[in-house]
Chain A
Amino acid sequence: MLYVVITFLWASILLYLLLGGADFGAGIIELFTSEKNRSRTRKTMYQAIGPIWEANHMWLIIAIVILFVGFPAIYSTMSVYLHIPLTVMLMGIIARGTAFAFRHHDAVVDDWQTVYNRIFTWSSVVTPLFLGIIAGSAVSGRINPAAGNFLDAYVFSWLDWFTVAVGLFTVAICAFLAAVYLIGETDNEMDRRRFIHKTQSSNIAAVICGALVFTAAHFEGIPLMHWIFGNLVGVFSIIAATLSLVLMWYLLRKGKTKILRLLAGSQVTMILLAVTWHHFPRIVLFTNGGYLSLMEHHGHDKTIASLGWALLLGSIFILPALFYLIYSFQQKNGNGVEEAH
């Protein structure tokens, strides 16, 4: 059962990165869209993600619940040392979720829309940035339980060049996922071109940020190269990701949206696989070389068993319903999603 639970944890993190990520990315893209195209981008985005919007963010809740029920030591340690970035991320989640609802459901359309839009786009950047920072700091061995003062314990446990680079990389990935996704959601050639262009630029940004991550790791003395290239799975994932990148650039011109989405999704999956493979099962590393491991620091067997059953049972209900939801709103029957205004 422990493996079932760990699989669910990994899968919900992946799905949050893919679906929630595309969702954040839509906001990031809006930020980088010229004034005159913004409202069209917004409309495309709303039609694309409106119906599945709430569901996309449930993956985060699932991951958190798995952590605090199944791996309480990991959850509470991260909560203590990463309190500040977690709080910032929460602020981002609050701002983004409410601004999204406000701008689409406000009964009167007036200047307030500008306020909602601004909050929405900026929090779309801040939230994944801090998600990346949190992930980066957990695995990079920054957390120092022996720290004697506030700064060392609660600030430098998450703030350095490496974690910031991981944060930026996450932001770029989100934008990339969204751009690829939106290519298939437009109804006219001009927008399609715009999103293809956005895909290319966000992809370049992701590659640059990726390089930044490696550079920062080098300066911070983190053996990232070894983590990723020190094992076959890592090497293969990175090779696969690179190959599919080449393929994708080629296909971008042809505009095969389904394949493009698949490729983008698998690239991100490969990257997550590469970075988690070496670490597994250790997901929180300390400065003193200690660690918290999924295999050792889990709840009691009975807890894990019931958690596993709850997850399995839940997926029987959730997955078909979710697929049907996505499927129904993918069918373009000319009706379109009802827009708020």
Chain B
Amino acid sequence: MNDFLAARSQMALSLGFHIVFSCIGMVMPFFMAVSHFYWLKTNKQVYKNITKAWSKGVAIFFATGAVSGTVLSFELGLLWPTFMKHAGPIFGMPFSLEGTAFFIEAIALGFFMYGWNRFNRWFHWFTGVVVGVSGLVSGILVVAANAWMNSPAGFDYVNGEYLNIDPIAAMFNDAWFSQALHMSVAAFVATGFAVAGIHAMMIAKGKNIEFHTKSFRIAAIFACVAAVLQPLSGDISAKDVAKRQPAKLAAMEAHFETQQSAPLIIGGIPDEKNKTVKYAIKLPGMLSFMAHGDFKAEVKGLDQIPEDEHPPVAITHYAFQIMVGLGMVMVLLAILYFIALWKKKSWLQSKWLLKFFVLATPMGFIAVEAGWTVTEVGRQPWIIHGVMRTADAVTPMPGIAYSFYLFTCVYVSLAAIVTFMLYRQIRMVDKLYDVPSSENPVKH
């Protein structure tokens, strides 16, 4: 494995790892706030138990999210020093604000996790909400930084120099809104379906029914509302990409030739040499509509982009298909669930609906990873779109492959341990969390 490939793989691995924890860190506080709220309102012990059970699990995810995020802030320099040297002062604004958001999150987390029975109950509840809000804000800020890499702004690039730097303009680049919106909704979809799926599985197994049903309900509603919104936000993203990164759009769609009334290509195997896609379903005019809101519009193909600026087509295309495909499946499931809630209450008791939710457990997270693959691989060969190539940004230090192996081992073992812990938390619901009276809460 050469050093450049190793650096790219290590970056992808670390971010792909971190994103899972950060989604959970952004969204779980809101789920907890809801059940906590029910508890404060209704005094039903089960809601307190749910809040506590969730918060124990989330503590593990938080810690893992925090360390993997810390690692990232060093890795940007360890792997891409040339990039950071020039980009740091330009796209650093969201990062400096993010520092504040993280800090507030960490403080609020201290209050929330350790503040049971110590503070005014509503103050305590409020600190939980602050954890969620600051998590969401920090997610939006990081994504704004990433959006800058897709849509550089706030500087003039003259003869290899970066002049007239304006960090605020860089933060509010063209892509920040569409990406931040899409990412935030994605976090709710992914975490929501994962949590709902786990509780659905426990209900299906007939364990602690009341506890799991109430937890399921909270997570499922969040997940389903977000799932329905996601394609709308995805549509905004797609139009945006068409404008600012035609090469990425072409790669997503394996759209080799510029044409009017361009067809939407679903599935298929792109053949980059012969510039064709085999075995695909083609919906005429749909791509033009998706990208420009007009069935007749011309869509730029890869043929109009210099060969050495083509992103890898196959990976981007597959990833895009996976994201959109899973997104559609989740929309269908969401619609079923809404029908059940409003019209067919009997479905709520049925096994099959639960089974669908169990099947959907990993879908949101797979879609998140796929979506980021689209964004990041689709930007190649650029690290700053149109300005700096990824290959020119990489560290001069040889032997990055070993570093990549090391990080792979570490992350794989961490993922295994975290999964194992989560399994233990769920298995212990019986003994630790689903206890009837407040005399006998979580053992301390």
A90 to B396, CA, bound (A): 20
- Does A102 sit at the interface, judged by CB under 8 A? yes
- Does A214 sit at the interface, judged by CB under 8 A? no
Residues of A within 8 A of B81 (CB): 76-77, 79-80
Once the chains bind, are A94 and B73 in contact (CB under 8 Å)?
no
Residues of B within 8 A of A306 (CB): 93, 96, 167-168
Residues of B within 8 A of A146 (CB): none
Once the chains bind, are B89 and A50 in contact (CB under 8 Å)?
no
Once the chains bind, are A299 and B88 in contact (CB under 8 Å)?
yes
Once the chains bind, are A68 and B167 in contact (CB under 8 Å)?
no
Residues of A within 8 A of B166 (CB): 302
User: Interface digits, B304-338 against A, CB 8 Å rule (1 contact, 0 not)?
Assistant: 00000000000000000000000000000000000
Residues of B within 8 A of A311 (CB): 96
Beyond A90-B74, A310-B97, is A58–B106 a contact (Cβ under 8 Å)? yes
Once the chains bind, are A100 and B63 in contact (CB under 8 Å)?
yes
Beyond A80-B81, A101-B64, is A318–B93 a contact (Cβ under 8 Å)? no
Query: Which of B114-122, B208-216, B255-263, B275-283 lies at the interface with chain A?
Result: B114-122
- Does B245 sit at the interface, judged by CB under 8 A? no
- Does B345 sit at the interface, judged by CB under 8 A? no
Once the chains bind, are B116 and A303 in contact (CB under 8 Å)?
no
How many residue-residue contacts, CB under 8 A, span A and B? 221
Once the chains bind, are B82 and A64 in contact (CB under 8 Å)?
no
- Scan residues 1-26 of chain B and give those whose CB is less than 8 A from a CB of chain A: none
User: Interface digits, B380-403 against A, CB 8 Å rule (1 contact, 0 not)?
Assistant: 000000000000000111110001
- Does A107 sit at the interface, judged by CB under 8 A? yes
Residues of A within 8 A of B89 (CB): 69-70, 72, 299-300, 303
Once the chains bind, are A314 and B103 in contact (CB under 8 Å)?
yes
A98 to B421, CA, bound (A): 12
Once the chains bind, are B397 and A54 in contact (CB under 8 Å)?
no
- Scan residues 102-138 of chain B and give those whose CB is less than 8 A from a CB of chain A: 102-111, 113-119
A91 to B70, CA, bound (A): 11
Closest residue on chain B to residue A336 by CB atoms: B444
- Does A190 sit at the interface, judged by CB under 8 A? no
Residues of B within 8 A of A104 (CB): 59
Once the chains bind, are B96 and A69 in contact (CB under 8 Å)?
yes
Beyond A62-B99, A337-B114, is A318–B104 a contact (Cβ under 8 Å)? yes
Once the chains bind, are A52 and B59 in contact (CB under 8 Å)?
no
Once the chains bind, are A101 and B110 in contact (CB under 8 Å)?
no
Once the chains bind, are A79 and B165 in contact (CB under 8 Å)?
no
Once the chains bind, are A325 and B414 in contact (CB under 8 Å)?
no
Closest residue on chain B to residue A73 by CB atoms: B85
In the complex, which of the residues B71, B96, B111 contacts A65, with contact meaning CB atoms closer than 8 Å?
B96
Once the chains bind, are B77 and A76 in contact (CB under 8 Å)?
yes
A60 to B70, CA, bound (A): 8
- Does B355 sit at the interface, judged by CB under 8 A? no
A286 to B421, CA, bound (A): 47
Once the chains bind, are B70 and A61 in contact (CB under 8 Å)?
yes
In the complex, which of the residues A69, A87, A150, A328 contacts B118, with contact meaning CB atoms closer than 8 Å?
A328
Once the chains bind, are B106 and A302 in contact (CB under 8 Å)?
no
Once the chains bind, are A303 and B167 in contact (CB under 8 Å)?
yes
Please classify how large the interface on chain B is, using the bins under 10, 10 to 19, 20 to 34, 35 or more.
35 or more
Once the chains bind, are A55 and B95 in contact (CB under 8 Å)?
no
B87 CB, nearest partner CB in chain A, Å: 8
In the complex, which of the residues B85, B97, B116, B410 contacts A76, with contact meaning CB atoms closer than 8 Å?
B85
- Scan residues 56-94 of chain A and give those whose CB is less than 8 A from a CB of chain B: 57-58, 60-62, 64-66, 68-70, 72-73, 75-80, 83, 86-87, 90-91, 93-94
- Does A156 sit at the interface, judged by CB under 8 A? no
In the complex, which of the residues B67, B104, B395, B421 contacts A107, with contact meaning CB atoms closer than 8 Å?
B421
- Scan residues 81-139 of chain A and give those whose CB is less than 8 A from a CB of chain B: 83, 86-87, 90-91, 93-94, 97-98, 100-102, 104-108
Which label, helix, strand, loop or mixed, suits the secondary structure of the B interface?
helix
Residues of A within 8 A of B96 (CB): 65-66, 69, 306-307, 310-311, 314
Residues of B within 8 A of A153 (CB): 397
Once the chains bind, are B414 and A98 in contact (CB under 8 Å)?
yes
- Scan residues 324-341 of chain A and give those whose CB is less than 8 A from a CB of chain B: 325, 328-329, 333, 335, 337-341
In the complex, which of the residues A87, A322, A328 contacts B119, with contact meaning CB atoms closer than 8 Å?
A328
In the complex, which of the residues B102, B107, B397, B427 contacts A325, with contact meaning CB atoms closer than 8 Å?
B107
A286 CB, nearest partner CB in chain B, Å: 16
Per the CB 8 Å criterion, the residue count for chain A at the interface is 69
A68 to B82, CA, bound (A): 12
- Does B419 sit at the interface, judged by CB under 8 A? no
Once the chains bind, are A51 and B74 in contact (CB under 8 Å)?
no
Once the chains bind, are A105 and B60 in contact (CB under 8 Å)?
yes
- Does B232 sit at the interface, judged by CB under 8 A? no
Once the chains bind, are A322 and B107 in contact (CB under 8 Å)?
yes
Once the chains bind, are B103 and A101 in contact (CB under 8 Å)?
no
Once the chains bind, are B397 and A80 in contact (CB under 8 Å)?
yes
A259 CB, nearest partner CB in chain B, Å: 26
A91 to B64, CA, bound (A): 13
- Does A246 sit at the interface, judged by CB under 8 A? no
- Does B225 sit at the interface, judged by CB under 8 A? no
In the complex, which of the residues A58, A83, A317 contacts B78, with contact meaning CB atoms closer than 8 Å?
A83
Residues of B within 8 A of A72 (CB): 84-89
Residues of B within 8 A of A60 (CB): 70
- Does B76 sit at the interface, judged by CB under 8 A? yes
B365 CB, nearest partner CB in chain A, Å: 20
Once the chains bind, are A87 and B73 in contact (CB under 8 Å)?
no
Beyond A53-B110, A75-B77, A83-B397, is A58–B99 a contact (Cβ under 8 Å)? yes
Once the chains bind, are A338 and B114 in contact (CB under 8 Å)?
yes
Residues of B within 8 A of A107 (CB): 56, 421, 424-425, 427-428, 432
A236 CB, nearest partner CB in chain B, Å: 33
- Give residues in A with beta carbon < 8 Å to B: 50-55, 57-58, 60-62, 64-66, 68-70, 72-73, 75-80, 83, 86-87, 90-91, 93-94, 97-98, 100-102, 104-108, 150, 153-154, 299-300, 302-303, 306-307, 310-311, 313-314, 317-318, 321-322, 325, 328-329, 333, 335, 337-341
Closest A-B pairs by Cβ, 8 of them: A69-B92, A299-B89, A79-B77, A101-B63, A314-B100, A54-B106, A76-B81, A72-B88
A sample of 24 cross-chain residue pairs with beta-carbon separation below 8 angstroms, ordered by A number, consists of: A54-B105, A54-B109, A55-B103, A61-B69, A64-B73, A65-B73, A65-B99, A72-B88, A75-B84, A94-B67, A94-B68, A97-B67, A98-B63, A98-B64, A100-B63, A107-B56, A107-B424, A107-B428, A299-B165, A303-B167, A310-B99, A325-B111, A328-B115, A335-B117
Kindly list 8 other residue pairs between chains A and B, CB separation below 8 angstroms, not including A299-B88, A303-B90, A338-B117: A51-B114, A54-B109, A55-B106, A57-B106, A76-B88, A101-B60, A105-B57, A154-B397
